[in-house]
Amino acid sequence: MRFIFKNILTLILCFCAVSGYCYSRYIFSLKWGESGTGTGQFDNPYRIIQDKSGNIYVSDRENHRIQKFDSTGKFILEWGSFGSDDGKFNRPHGIAIDNNNYIYVADYENNRIQNFDSVGNFIFKINSSYCNDLAVAENGKIYILDYQDCNINIFSSAGILLSSWGEPGSENGQFYKPQAIALDRFSNIYICDQMNNRIQKFDSTGKFILKFGTKGVGNGQFDTPYDVVIDSLNYIFVVDYGNNRIQKFDSSGNFITKFGLKGNGNGQFNGPTGLCIDKDGCIYVADCINSRIQKFYNNDYLNVAENNIQQISNLKLSPNPFFSTINIKITNPLKNSIIKIYNLLGKEIQSYVISESSLKDYNQTIQLLNYPSGIYYFVYFFDNSILTQTAILLK
């Protein structure tokens, strides 16, 4: 057994090295949306943000509107229609939110930024040419990205232009069709320099710090990146549009992990254009051409609710490693909780719903007869939290 186990691990490591695959801890959780003009439907969902209450806002570009959902994808409200009057849009692109939950929308074809409250009431606007994205700093300053002129315009919270910098080109501090802008908690500025296939980082005054990325399909390379987002731990996430994946980097631009493949299945993308990250590290992706939003859990941020810590003891798998048959045991399961099994690539292969709540222990014996040897992930979803274990199938 030890000899077989050692050889299986060797084969898995060889596979990862040869294929360039790296294990991602981001697991598909849910999705919502389809092509159309009705509520909860999309025509090019472009960018996505989340407010302090966990609500999701999506710029539904070709429907010329903003849609608001809860964190599970339940529709709440919408506002906007095609036009140039206040509160109307012509292909809204970027979307941002400030500390007071006011929403800012880059109304691209109307060459302006519009500001709204959280239910869509118009407040004010800032005229700005070719504005395709923006970010709002802690101090209220508004950073607006000019896609055509390749510069960044910085406004006060009252809409007064304070400074501008940037120019077309491929040198440090120059841009070619910049697509997105983000700020970290140290007020550093990140630009998704799309047609240069790179990310550039600057300090708060616009002084160049570093860059990373080249055109390609390898780790750390891009094919027309569309969005850049910084999480609370200062990790950098890049929406790699042409490669249909999300890549994660540290604050110095060193590659960490990636997830996503081209397709329309769960966890797959067709032209992703935006993402946001919640307080638990879960990622919401605007899967543009598939006309949907997808949510992914991050196993590095397992959030077990305080009132469940004593009730839920653990998720156990035995035997492990296993030969086709394995037993799943959960102590004090919750009603309507779900167990899902994923392969090494993050594809869901089986799922089970626990329909009873009076059980002290839940036991389920399953067989993976038609699946290859390798690592499998067993994920227990309960009350907006998850528990995860891995097991190795030997053949």
Structure tokens at 376: 């499998």
pLDDT at position 314:
72
* 225-230/208-212 β-pairing: unpaired
* pLDDT value of residue 304: 33
pLDDT of residue 216: 97
pLDDT tens over the chain, length 395 residues? 444 444 444 444 443 433 344 445 788 889 999 999 999 999 999 999 999 999 999 999 999 999 999 999 999 999 999 999 999 999 999 999 999 999 999 999 999 999 999 999 999 999 999 999 999 999 999 999 999 999 999 999 999 999 999 999 999 999 999 999 999 989 999 999 999 999 999 999 999 999 999 999 999 999 999 999 999 889 999 999 999 999 999 999 999 999 999 999 989 999 999 999 998 889 999 999 999 999 998 765 443 333 333 333 478 899 989 998 999 998 878 877 888 898 876 778 898 888 776 567 888 899 998 889 888 888 888 765 677 788 889 87
CA distances from 51 to 56, 242, 272 (A): 7, 28, 21
Q: Which residues does 85 contact at the CB level (< 8 Å), separation at least 6?
A: none
Give the per-residue pLDDT at 2.
43
The whole-angstrom separation of Cα 366 and Cα 240 is 37
Tell me which residue of 325, 304, 323, 322 sits closest to 313, measured CA to CA.
304
CB proximity list for 310: less than 8 A, separation 6 or greater: none
CA-wise closest residue to 328 among 271, 378, 273: 378
pLDDT of amino acid 197: 98
pLDDT of residue 358: 55
- Nearest residue to 136 (alpha-carbon basis) of 187, 93, 89, 80: 187
pLDDT reported for residue 299:
63
Q: Are 236 and 199 in contact (CB under 8 A)?
A: yes
pLDDT at 24: 57
Q: Rounded to the nearest 5°, which phi and psi values hold at 201?
A: -120, 135
Alpha-carbon span 177 to 168, nearest angstrom: 8
* The dihedral sign for the CA sequence 256, 260, 266, 272: positive
**How confident is the model at residue 365, as a pLDDT?**
92
pLDDT at position 11? 43
Residue 373: per-residue pLDDT: 87
- What per-residue confidence (pLDDT) applies to 357? 60
| pLDDT at res. 300 | 56
* The pLDDT of residue 20: 41
DSSP H or E run through 337: strand 337-342
The 8-class DSSP code of residue 129 comes to T
Question: Which residue type occupies 178?
Answer: P
Say if residue 96 is exposed, middle or buried (CB neighbours under 10 Å; 0-12, 13-18, 19+). Answer: buried
Q: What per-residue confidence (pLDDT) applies to 384?
A: 59
Structure tokens at 227: 């969005």
Contact 253, 271 (CB under 8 A): no
The pairing of strands 56-60 and 45-50 is antiparallel
